[in-house]
A and B are shown apart, each in its own frame.
Chain A
């Protein structure tokens, strides 16, 4: 990666980290309700892959740990936070919440809360691309535990069969909710599982963004060149629990500390310092600047935004009635 790109991505990753940590705080303050699945520790995965792809052009879909993927695709952090606050200005107008961030204009096709649910949706998006003849690809980010669902295998089969332009990114963070991969899955290395479908696959360190980027570039090129699907496994770790009620009793603090020594942001920071492109002072300033932006703009916007109107409770269940009248009443022109 070029120095200026690495510096830009470092800035983004710091935003992603601080955004998530601020969500944690807002949750404790009961500003955010429901479930909240946070991304710290895995930032190099989404950033590395999307640096190799075209955010806003390629279609991205993921599970419930979705805030950072949305922001990386171009969603406004203010709207993502406002969604967590349940406000009308939120990216899904307060109807979706943390697990259902959407930004169709930026081709972020949403976060879905059934584990594995996005697999066939991603293949369907790829099918639509194939029919329309565009050069976009579909990228499906999911965790390792999703691969134990039946639709994983159904989707791999169809994607390979029809040579669909879809990249499956498996962020293997070693835990499915509170059960370790060794205790839930017969094969720890997920890329081995797709060999049966004749889908090319690769695995790499998910903590070093440059490593992710290099592997993702090959994966994206493969899919965009019309060769069909690709499966990329990234070995990573989530620092926080699965969701907010999770006290992480299923793993040791030593294990967590070991992973934190390979923190994706620090790896990139230290490399840039070593390359003479960044000083520690600059990094600390960046963190402060990011916090100020989150506080003064993102949180302020979310706090001050209006609630949805109760009169609009049933809005968005169906398409706008007026536009559908010919089919609802049979009085087509």
Chain B
């Protein structure tokens, strides 16, 4: 096991897959000569050259569509969209071309491409550089959506996404690229479907994904030490499809659920998880499930306002205490 950073894990997955298959390429803004805004493609340009490590113009719709078109002929492009906010410009191609081509061609064409993008709010980047958009991607038929919460997942999910014949959107996080964690030394493929129990517990399930897994883990620690509440943390690394079985299993055990998301509440991961709980295990519930989410505002620049807009582990603790009638 190597203890490496999230960006290093992503870089390693690129490197291994590009060394194995000459049709694996990567493309995006500043990913080549500059080495990538988050270093996720560092050193690849020198190793694989400009034909396979493509510095693109700032044309998200254009280069995303170009990658998708190449994938129709068996090329496996890893398309980096520097910030998820810019993905709005690429969504026509992602949704109308990549996600639908297999269906509307009756299975003749497929778009085996990977879209990677930094989602999440960082520090005072303002309304147009701080969006969380996973909710938009997870509602699209034909598109898989995964979101790694640690370096092992970042490595293994990318490896699997490259090999998978379906288009996969990988939602990363600006604040997590320097996070360290253990990654297996040998080749490792993380499942693109399912969920992980990140911490076992018995009294309440805290559902998180990507950065909110860490709020949940921290909250579980506090709940255990200060309040004697045993919280189970479920990591929903696959947002589409969501793991119905995993959600049902944990809620059937703990009978209570809190869903923590950095995104705004409407039409989001929380609403979807609660719908699944209703459909799968409503009568297992001892209390109504609760969502912890950000405020429904364009992200403010001001530091204090920004902090107020985004939840953290304390909000998760508060939600659980409320659920137990302790707050």
**Chain A residues within 8 Å of B, Cβ to Cβ:** 59, 61, 90-97, 100, 102-104, 109-110, 112-114, 117, 119-132, 150-151, 154-155, 157-158, 161-162, 315-319, 323-324, 326-332
| Closest A residue by C-beta to B164 | A327
Residues from chain B with Cβ under 8 Å of A316 in the complex: 102-103, 105-107
Picked from B66, B102, B108, B141, the residue with its CB within 8 Å of the CB of A120 is B66
B1 is an interface residue with CB less than 8 A from chain A:
no
For this complex, 11 residue pairs linking A to B, each with C-beta atoms less than 8 Å apart, are A93-B107, A95-B104, A121-B69, A123-B69, A127-B70, A128-B72, A132-B73, A150-B62, A151-B93, A317-B103, A318-B102
The answer for the CA separation of A132 and B75 in the assembled complex, in Å, is: 9
Task: Give chain B's interface residues, CB within 8 Å of chain A.
Answer: 22-23, 25, 51-52, 54, 56-57, 59, 61-75, 92-93, 96-97, 101-110, 141-142, 144, 156, 160-161, 163-166, 187, 189-194
Q: CA separation between A61 and B165, bound complex, in Å?
A: 21
Which of B65, B165, B187 makes the CB contact (< 8 A) with A117? B65
What CA separation (Å) do A323 and B112 show in the bound complex? Answer: 13
CB pair B102–A104 under 8 Å, yes or no, is no
A131 and B70 within 8 A (CB): yes
Which among B63, B101, B110, B156 is the interface contact of A330 at CB below 8 angstroms? B156
Q: Are B68 and A124 in contact (CB under 8 A)?
A: yes
| 6 tightest Cβ-Cβ pairs between the two chains A and B | A124-B69, A120-B65, A154-B62, A93-B106, A330-B191, A121-B69
Contact assessment for A90 and B66 in the assembled complex, using a CB-CB cutoff below 8 Å: no
Which of A95, A128, A150 has its CB near the most chain B CB atoms (within 10 A)? A128
Report whether A127 and B75 are in contact in the complex, using a CB–CB cutoff of 8 Å: yes
CA distance A191 to B30 in the complex (A): 31
B191 and A329 within 8 A (CB):
yes
How far does the alpha carbon of A119 sit from the alpha carbon of B160 in the complex, in Å?
29
* Cβ-closest chain B residue relative to A97: B104
- Please measure, in the bound complex, the distance between the C-alpha atom of A315 and the C-alpha atom of B57, giving whole angstroms: 37
B106 to A327, Cβ gap below 8 A?
no
- Inter-chain contact B141/A317, CB cutoff 8 Å: yes
B102 close to A332 (CB less than 8 A): no
Q: How far is the CA of A161 from the CA of B103 in the complex (A)?
A: 32
When C-beta atoms are compared, the residue in chain A nearest to B60 turns out to be: A154
Most chain B CB neighbours (cut-off 10 Å) among A121, A126, A132? A121
Q: Is the CB of A328 within 8 A of B72?
A: no
Residues from chain A with Cβ under 8 Å of B93 in the complex: 117, 120-121, 151
Contact B101 A110 (CB under 8 A): yes
Min CB distance, B93 to chain A, in Å?
7
A324 to B69, CA, bound (A): 21
> How far is A96 from B22 in the complex, measured between Cα atoms in Å?
32
* Chain B minimum-CB-distance residue to A90: B106
Structural contact, A328 and B192, CB atoms closer than 8 A: yes
Q: Which residues of A contact B156 (CB under 8 A)?
A: 330
User: Can you name the residue of chain A whose Cβ is closest to the Cβ of B71?
Assistant: A124
Report the nearest A residue to B23, measured CB to CB.
A131
Q: Complex formed: what's the CA distance from A288 to B296 in Å?
A: 66
Q: Are A124's CB and B66's CB within 8 A?
A: yes
Q: CA of A120 to CA of B68 in the docked complex: distance in angstroms?
A: 8
Q: Assuming A124-B68, A125-B72, is B106 touching A158 (CB within 8 A)?
A: no
- Return chain A residues, CB-CB under 8 Å to B189: 326-327, 330, 332
Contact between A120 and B105 (Cβ–Cβ < 8 Å)? no
Report the separation of the CA atoms of residues A268 and B244 in the bound assembly, to the nearest whole angstrom: 63
Contact of B66 with A123 in the complex, beta carbons under 8 Å: yes
Contact B57 A157, beta carbon cutoff 8 Å: yes
| CB-CB nearest in chain B for A100 | B104
| Alpha-carbon distance between A157 and B66 when the two chains are bound, in angstroms | 12
Supposing A316-B102, A318-B166, A327-B192 touch, asked if A128 and B107 sit within 8 A by C-beta, the answer is: no
Are B70 and A128 closer than 8 Å at their CB atoms?
yes
- B160 A319 Cβ-Cβ under 8 A: no
B165 partner residues in chain A, CB cutoff 8 A: 319, 323-324
Cα A114 to Cα B92 with chains together (Å): 8
B231: min CB distance to chain A, Å? 26
